[in-house]
């Protein structure tokens, strides 16, 4: 038994991934957990271009035995500018952890029914950016009905439709700046222990790349694929491909206090910094897989895997959206 949980994307209705149902999801706007103490825009800026990042995904990962962390969600944001997606660098990615007691002012004590709640609204608690769903700090000066996290998102939203909606009733328009929205469903990993011909698997993988059916290296032209022949010699990549062979659609791997499934022999973190709030060691909790970008129809960004490390105590000191540590490792391209 691997004791690893795998995440897969599943189509959903918007109400199925609202905050009150404590979803794990990708794309769309964040389903915030704590509805009052959201991270300010300056904490969501890309380290490269200094523009606001966009919500990528969130994982509901409660500590049900710990009342302080009974509800617990980890959020990931990414910059959509391809130039900011640097090799083996997480400078365009932001990760936050939020926790709530079981008894709190936002949600009922007992588990919710899996149905639409027409009375639930985030607007009761906080003003959110009309474009991205993050904490707003500005509002449209003309209609004063919608708010924005930044001038940059106000300009984008104006061009994408608010210009025609201003001073009218707002529509349910979805910004093209956002990723498509899906629910994440979790299943236990099952490993087929059959012998795998690694060379055969690598040949199959390169064919998937040529056919455009996998996220990793999906933007490489056909005549460039031979440049990656040396990947055959990368044992880490061969192990990666062998491990996911029975579950190629996985977009996420979760194992608290486990080890990442690296896609290359390096780089890996020299050290993982301790928690910024309590000083406790951080440990690995989950990773995003390359297939996530294929699901999102994202062809300009490129990632291998993104490993997320969180406070081992899941501390509650300080902000209730605590920054955590991420490490992005890309496919080895030794032959270039």
Answer yes or no: is pLDDT of 100 > 60.
yes
**d(C-alpha 92, C-alpha 76), whole Å:** 11
Q: Return the number of other C-beta atoms located less than 10 Å from residue 102's C-beta.
A: 16
Burial 175-207 (b: 16+ CB within 10 A, else e): beebbebbbbeeeebeeeeeeeeeeeebeebbe
Among candidate residues 71, 72, 76, the one with its CA nearest the CA of residue 58: 76
Query: What mean pLDDT value characterizes the chain?
Result: 86
Measure CA 256 to chain center: 17
Token output for 185? 């469903």
Summarize pLDDT for 176-219 with one digit per residue, the tens: 789 999 999 999 998 876 554 556 656 666 666 666 654 444 44
Can you give the pTM of this predicted structure? 0.86
Answer yes or no: is pLDDT of 164 > 90.
no
**d(C-alpha 229, C-alpha 302), whole Å:** 19
Of 233 and 208, more confident: 208
The residue-averaged pLDDT of 213-231 equals 45
**d(C-alpha 107, C-alpha 101), whole Å:** 10
Residue with tokens 């149905």: 115
What H or E segment, with its residue span, contains residue 203? helix 198-211
Token output for 41? 């825009």
What H or E segment, with its residue span, contains residue 25? strand 25-26
Which of 19-23, 183-187, 238-242 shows the lowest mean pLDDT across its residues?
238-242
3-state secondary structure of 71: strand
pLDDT at 76: 98
* Residue pair 28/54 in contact by the 8 Å Cβ criterion: no
């Amino acid at each position: 038994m691997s004791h690893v949980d795998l995440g897969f994307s599943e189509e959903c209705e918007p109400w199925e991934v609202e905050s009150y149902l404590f979803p794990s999801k990708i794309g769309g706007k964040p389903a915030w957990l704590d509805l009052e103490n959201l991270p300010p825009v300056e904490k969501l800026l890309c380290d490269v271009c200094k523009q606001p990042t966009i919500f990528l995904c969130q994982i509901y990962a409660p500590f049900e035995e710990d009342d302080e962390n009974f509800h617990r969600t980890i959020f990931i944001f990414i910059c959509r500018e391809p130039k900011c997606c640097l090799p083996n660098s997480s400078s365009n990615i932001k990760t936050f952890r939020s926790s709530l007691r079981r008894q709190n002012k936002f949600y009922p004590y007992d588990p919710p029914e899996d149905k639409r709640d027409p009375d639930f609204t985030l607007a009761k608690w906080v003003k959110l950016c009309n474009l991205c769903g993050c904490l707003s700090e500005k509002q449209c000066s003309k209609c004063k009905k919608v708010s924005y996290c930044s001038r940059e998102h106000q300009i984008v939203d104006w061009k994408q439709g608010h210009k025609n909606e201003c001073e009218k009733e707002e529509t349910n328009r979805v910004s093209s700046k956002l990723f498509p929205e899906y629910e994440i469903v979790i299943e236990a990993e099952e490993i087929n222990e059959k012998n795998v011909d690694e060379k055969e698997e690598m040949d199959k993988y390169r064919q998937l790349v040529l056919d455009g059916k996998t996220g990793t290296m999906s933007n490489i032209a056909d005549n460039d694929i031979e440049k990656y022949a040396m990947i055959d010699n990368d044992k880490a990549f061969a192990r990666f491909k062998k491990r996911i062979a029975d579950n190629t659609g996985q977009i996420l791997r979760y194992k608290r206090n486990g080890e990442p499934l690296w896609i290359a022999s390096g780089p890996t973190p020299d050290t993982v910094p301790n928690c910024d709030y309590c000083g406790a060691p951080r440990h690995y909790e989950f990773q995003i897989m390359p297939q996530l970008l294929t699901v999102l129809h994202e062809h300009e960004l490129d990632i291998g895997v993104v490993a997320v490390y969180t406070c081992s105590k899941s501390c509650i000191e300080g902000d209730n959206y605590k920054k955590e540590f991420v490490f992005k490792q890309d496919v080895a391209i030794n032959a270039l």
